[in-house]
Chains A and B, each alone.
Chain A
Amino acid sequence: MKGTNIGELEELVLLVIGVLYEGAYGVSVLKEIKEQTGREVNISAIHAVMNRLEDKGFLRSEMGGSSNTRGGRRKRNYYLTSSGRATLDQVRSVREKLYNQLSPSASYNLSV
């Protein structure tokens, strides 16, 4: 098993698959990311990330149903596993912990 640290795109894909719950596969994840964040990610990147996450044990997958637009080809559906969920929780808590330490009073000069 690879390390439990995940990158930004990995986190995003993991979240989206969680949100989609059932019916998460390559194209639906891609569309969802585009809708929710406006980011256009290439399908190859999505596949690579999902494969990696599955290797890490955060996702599991099975072959699902087919549709006409796919020329009768089946799709591979992905599901969030409990360790995937735990990782998301952990990532979030780290973020929040750090966020809360930002001083609300200080003004950060953004214009460097």
Chain B
Amino acid sequence: MSKSFPSPPKWADRFLSWYCNPKLLEQVQGDVHELFYWRLEEKGPRKAKRSFAWDVIRLFRWSNIKRKSNKTQKLNNIAMFKNYFKIGLRNLWKQRMPSAINVIGLSLAIGCCLVSFKYIEFQLVRDSFHEKGDQIYLGTHKAFEDNGVYEYGYFSWAIGDLIREDYAGVKNVVQYNTRSVQVELGDQAFSENGAFTNKEFFDVFSFDIIYGDKEALANKDRVALAEMTAKRFFGDIDPIGKIVNITIGGESNDFEVGVVYKEAPNNSSIWPEVIIHPDWFIGDADRKTLIANFFLELEQGVDFTDVIRQLQSLVTVQNGFNLDRKYEEVGLEPLTTMAKNSDRIRFGLGSRPPMAPMILLACIASFMLILATFNYINIATAMATRRIKEIGIRKVIGSNRGQLVVQFLTENLILCALAMVLGCLLAAGFFIPKFNVISGSTLKLDILNHTNLQLFLVGLLFFLTFASGAYPAFFVSRFKPVRIFRGSESVGGKRRFTMGLLTFQFVLAMITIVAGVASVQNNNLYENKAWGYNQNDKLVVNLSKEKFQAFRSEAMKNPNVLDVAASFNSLNKHWDFRKMKIGELEYEGQYLRSDAYYPEFMEIPLAEGRYFDKAIPSDLTSSILVNQAFIRAFQLEDFVGATVTIDSTNFQIVGVLKDYFYSSFQDGIEPAVFKAQPDSLLTTLTFQAREDKMIELRDQLESTWAQIESEAPFSAHFQSEVRAREFEDMRGLRNVLVFTASLAVLLSAMGLFGLVSLNISARFKDFGIKKVLGASAMNLLGDVYKQFSFIVIFAVVAGSLLAVKVVDLLLVSVYGEHTPVNIVPLGLAGLLLLMVAAITINIQMRRVRLMNPAETLRTE
């Protein structure tokens, strides 16, 4: 190109040729070139070049841009997909058995996934229902305590008041104190979670008001009730204006119901049942020493880091109060992350969701998913090899490999969608309700208005489609037509991949069975574990100090009462840990006060020494009984003469009790101490009932109670039931694990069944010939057996080794102390798997045995 004769900028020209529709390219390019040379003469090369580029850019518009597919091609595509769908559906129908195995397996797995998704989402997404959630922050401060600086989720009231008055960008400040209060109406009385907060609470948080107006709460004699609480008292009517009596810390007052609001969903960190004016909490206390959680609602669009910077001035204010509490720094924690960070923020609100169940559920769901997907891969590969002629013909006609892959993926999508629908039905109708019963949660499958769930479902559908369909699709589309028709494509040849997957499935099944069996084993062990005392036929009644004697003497007249003992609280319901000291050694231990008779009454066996003796006055003041763990912890050779200091009082040990469980089994046994006290300080009576009369006795005592005490409700429980909750949780877990194990066995058996069946079908003609020549059924199936039994046995061995490790981890986290995975679960699991495999193969064997060789040989 000579310098004297400039040409249009090359990049622009190329760009034009690249994007322009070839049908238009000639005239368009001609025009711009002509314009270029015209402008070259008129305006000079620089301007001409610039204009050329500008023209090219301006021509880059929809009507000129080349599009790959024009209309006719699109139509073809649709027709092709229609054909894929039709062929896919026909194939599903034609090969009903393997298709059913696939669909059932996948839908079971999807059901499991849905349950765990719902549960995990529910646990992780907390406090999300507030409309202004992103503007609400919990006020925090950092302070020095216990040799370190920690973050605390509260302020003093004085500081909270300052924030309300002074700071720009803060729209509302809500203080929030909770305290258990007793609410009474007529002869009903309930203990409720009372919240002390002002009426702005309803501006900031999205609790819907059902009856009444929040302004009513400006009056300190009005309260707000949660819907369920109101229903309990008043039934379904509008309770506004009704009077309830509320006891706050020993002081009773009448309140008028001003507001009824809908309670929080149970993933909320704040769930007040009664909202009371804050003045009732303050009383005469100094606002500088009184603390509360403070929620700040910021103005829209305000950056919370700016607000934090402003708030730092409070540090000097607080420290100017000259109290013990010195702030280092003031901060804000978003409401939405408050629960997640509740480990870090002391005395904040909300709690971190427990990780162990989430991990367990996620593991179960992925196990199931893996099993079902592997089933699919194996069966689909085997199924597709029967359609090898179709593939050959399609290839000859001209479809390329990509199109075949798309075809198989489409078929897979149909199947997965089917499984999806079934899985949702399964989850909604069976899995989730059952799971709710076990876990005590209230999960619901609301597909229509739950965006996260919809996203999850769509994601899962595509994941399943590709994860399960990719290998079969690529495997099958690889065959060469020439070899297919010549018959030299070794279809059923070495299927190492398939066999590998099957092995893996059986290993997983093995692990889940071992987990299931081990949990059953440990559960039984737990439920039969001795508690260390006699919990049978004992009725526990809680009462007040004033009515203690009156009730006791009245109750003793009852013929069903054999014996009675008093204590401050009953075993397994008591949480009082105190520091205990002997010389320099110090441990924290359980401290239970009772009358002199209680330990003997509970039949806690003595190891050494004696029980308390009422006749010895010092036993009621300076004597204690300890457990064996106490002796071990303090390494006492001889308990006599040892002086134990608890709360700066000295005690003598008079006896050693054998170890007993005073809290959950997982917690194990730490040092524990009984201290005898006069009856006047005790609030719990434990009655030994006549055998089988316990329930009768409870009802009788309830009416006795009504004669003596009219105000407080009768509160009683059976000593044998204090572990009910603990056992229930474990039974729930056991049920989940056993269910998982049975699913896993079912899925892997189905996979094996499908594979064996396809394997046999492919060699039906072989078998026919062999049979004619006189082979027995055993001969025929010898190598089928050999192949599959090797897999199962290998899986049992490998699975056992893995299970010992994996299941042990699980057991440690659930049961704490547990029987290790021993030969029982391993043997049972192995036996079960071998049996299932044998049965599965034998069902198929029947087909071969009953087969008439003439028939197979005649066809085709």
Contacts and interface: CB of A to CB of B under 8 A. Distances in A.
B38 A74 contact: no
A49 to B, nearest CB: 11
Contacts of A45: 58
Interface string B64-107: 10000000000000000000000000000000000000000000
Interface in B416-452: none
Contacts of A92: none
Given A43-B59, A44-B59, A44-B61, A75 B32 contact: no
B30 A66 contact: yes
Contact of A70 (B30, B54, B63): B30
Contacts of B32: 43
Contacts of A43: 31-32, 35, 55, 58-59
Contacts of B33: 69-71, 73
B34 interface: yes
Interface in A27-74: 27, 30-31, 42-45, 47-48, 51, 63, 66-67, 69-71, 73-74
Interface stretch (B21-29, B349-357, B508-516): B21-29
Contacts of A44: 55, 58-59, 61, 64
Contacts of A48: 61, 63
The residue among B34, B35, B54, B63 with the most chain A CB atoms within 10 A of its own CB is B34
A25 B35 contact: no
Interface bin, chain B: 10 to 19
B34 A67 contact: yes
Given A47-B64, A69-B33, A74 B27 contact: yes
Contacts of A67: 34
B796 to A, nearest CB: 74
A93 to B, nearest CB: 32
A47 B38 contact: no
B71 to A, nearest CB: 16
A92 B58 CA distance: 31
Contact of A42 (B29, B55, B64): B55
A76 interface: yes
B42 to A, nearest CB: 10
B59 A47 contact: yes
A71 B38 CA distance: 13
B65 to A, nearest CB: 12
B37 interface: yes
B59 A71 contact: no
A26 interface: yes
Interface in B37-68: 37-38, 54-55, 58-59, 61, 63-64
Contacts of B38: 27, 31, 69
B731 to A, nearest CB: 74
A51 B31 CA distance: 14
A25 B59 contact: no
A73 B58 contact: no
The residue among B27, B28, B29, B37 with the most chain A CB atoms within 10 A of its own CB is B27
A69 B59 CA distance: 20
Contacts of B29: 71, 73
A47 B37 contact: no
Interface string A70-101: 11011110000000000000000000000000
A94 B72 CA distance: 43
Given A42-B58, A44-B55, A48-B61, A63 B34 contact: no
Nearest to B13: A71
Given A30-B35, A42-B58, A69-B37, A74 B30 contact: yes
Given A42-B55, A43-B55, A74-B26, A27 B61 contact: no
Contacts of A70: 30-31, 33-34
Contacts of B54: 42
Contacts of B64: 44, 47
Contacts of B26: 63, 73-74
Nearest to A76: B27
Contacts of A71: 29-30, 33
Given A27-B35, A47-B64, A75 B59 contact: no
Interface string A2-16: 000000000000000
B14 to A, nearest CB: 14
A25 B37 contact: no
Nearest to B57: A44
Contacts of B61: 44, 48
B27 A25 contact: yes
A71 B30 CA distance: 7
Contacts of A74: 26-27, 30
Contact of A27 (B34, B58, B59, B63): B34
B63 A73 contact: no
A41 B54 CA distance: 12
A69 B31 contact: no
Contacts of A26: 27-28, 31
B324 to A, nearest CB: 78
B27 A75 contact: yes
A67 B27 CA distance: 12
A25 B58 contact: no
A75 B30 CA distance: 7
A43 B61 CA distance: 12
Nearest to B56: A44
Nearest to B58: A44
A43 B12 CA distance: 15
A43 B57 CA distance: 11
A41 B63 CA distance: 18
B31 A47 contact: yes
Contacts of B59: 43-44, 47
B107 to A, nearest CB: 52
A30 B39 CA distance: 12
Contacts of A27: 31, 34-35, 38
Contacts of B37: 69
Contacts of A73: 26-27, 29-30, 33
A-B pairs with lowest CB-CB distance, top 7: A73-B30, A44-B58, A26-B31, A70-B30, A76-B27, A44-B59, A69-B37
22 contacts: A25-B27, A25-B31, A27-B35, A30-B35, A43-B31, A43-B35, A43-B55, A44-B59, A44-B64, A45-B58, A47-B28, A47-B31, A51-B63, A63-B27, A69-B38, A70-B33, A70-B34, A71-B29, A73-B27, A73-B29, A74-B26, A75-B30
Given A27-B38, A48-B61, A70-B30, 12 more contacts: A27-B31, A27-B34, A42-B54, A43-B35, A44-B59, A44-B64, A48-B63, A70-B31, A70-B33, A70-B34, A74-B27, A75-B27
